[in-house]
Structure 1
Amino acid sequence: MDHFTTKRLTAERLNDSHLADLVALHLDSEVSRYLGGVRTPEVTTTYLATNMAHWDQHGFGLWVLRTKDGAFAGRAGIRHILVDGIDEIEIAYAFRREFWGQGFASEIAIALTDIGLSHHEVPSLIGLVYIANGASRRVLQKANYTLEKSATRHGEDLVIYRIRR
């Protein structure tokens, strides 16, 4: 599933042509504060390569998101992640600031959940959220994820939400 659409967004499988948009997204300190901090262009280049390799290995990964008029809105996806030594599959999303507060994150979280649970038939999906990120916690709750536990990752306090098939 290289492409999909929601009511207001189109999603395209991550590729090399998306580097400039991702660099701009990751250089925004407000966007990146709950993503582990601002990423340099070099770090984002490595991030892009890693996430493209994820697609090749697993058949799913990150998509670049655009509005119906073609504007870059952000990125989102489904990917494997190691949490406390357990291979989990998470949904992840990040939007440019001008798209915050308009329901785009909830829209894409619901779509990603359906893709993961129905199309790829994974047994469960998680969302990792910094405790202070109330907006993202509400997004996962709207998408019917349940708070499972607290965790620490890279020295940061997080909560893990989960949804099962």
Structure 2
Amino acid sequence: MNDDTPQRRRSVSVDHFSTDRLIAERLCEDHLGNLVALHLDPDVSRYLGGVRSAETTEKYLSINMAHWDQHGFGLWALRTKDGAFAGRAGIRHILVDDTDEIEIAYAFTRDLWCQGFASEIATAMTRIGLSQLSLPSLIGIVYVRNGASRRVLEKSNYLLEQSTNRHGENVVIYRIRG
């Protein structure tokens, strides 16, 4: 097998990385408390499908840790450079209208909103997904009413592809190709 095969390229470690202001580390059991607090915040969760209980967040964590084991990439816990929990972000497989897609997703603690962190992490994840993992494309699924996340994807060169209904909510799907 030569080093240019997709299987070889996907073996690149993306367990952790950093941006100018954030440190990302592979999601693990140690992050449960921070995730529970994040998912219990109604403002943070309004565009994530609603507030999630501690039990639901624990299942979410298990599913996302298994995603890492199966695919070699997934969700990261995010910290600011001073070590404070900032949120979560990731690249993951998701079923959209019976099609396996790979999406980027992110959620930040409320105190970090409107400071450019979402754009910073979206740019980093897009680079990782398209360049390091050699994925053919990435999508972002955004509630129609979530103008801030729509602008983040547009600034990251994602193109609006379609509007659809997902879990009873009107969403738009953006895509970027490698």
TM range, smaller chain: over 0.9
Q: C-alpha separation between the residues in 2 aligned to 1:55 and 1:2?
A: 9
> 1:50, CA displacement in angstroms?
0.1
Residue number among 104, 118, 132 corresponding to 1:91 in the alignment: 104
2:81 match: 68
Q: C-alpha separation between the residues in 2 aligned to 1:138 and 1:126?
A: 14
Residue number among 138, 142, 149 corresponding to 1:129 in the alignment: 142
Q: C-alpha separation between the residues in 2 aligned to 1:36 and 1:107?
A: 23
Structure 1 stretches of 4+ moved >6 Å = none
Residue number among 5, 17, 26 corresponding to 1:4 in the alignment: 17
1:114 match: 127
Residue number among 81, 84, 92 corresponding to 1:79 in the alignment: 92
Kindly indicate whether residue 58 of structure 2 is the aligned counterpart of residue 45 of structure 1. Answer: yes
Name stretches of at least 5 consecutive residues in structure 1 with no aligned partner.
none
| Number of equivalent positions | 165
> 1:34, CA displacement in angstroms?
0.2
Following superposition of structure 1 onto structure 2, how do residues 9-28 of structure 1 map, counting pairs within 5 Å? 9-28=22-41
Q: C-alpha separation between the residues in 2 aligned to 1:142 and 1:72?
A: 25
SS at match of 2:125: helix
Give CA-to-partner distance per residue, 1:26-64, whole Å, 9 cap, x none. 000000000000000000000000000000000000000
Q: Which amino acid aligns with 1:24?
A: A
Q: C-alpha separation between the residues in 2 aligned to 1:64 and 1:99?
A: 14
The percentage of aligned residue pairs carrying the same residue is 73
> 1:126, CA displacement in angstroms?
0.1
TM-score, normalising length: structure 1: 1.00
Rg larger in 1 or in 2? 2
Name stretches of at least 5 consecutive residues in structure 2 with no aligned partner.
1-13
Q: C-alpha separation between the residues in 1 aligned to 2:133 and 2:173?
A: 21
Over aligned residues, Cα RMSD in angstroms? 0.3
Give CA-to-partner distance per residue, 1:11-34, whole Å, 9 cap, x none. 000000000000000000000000
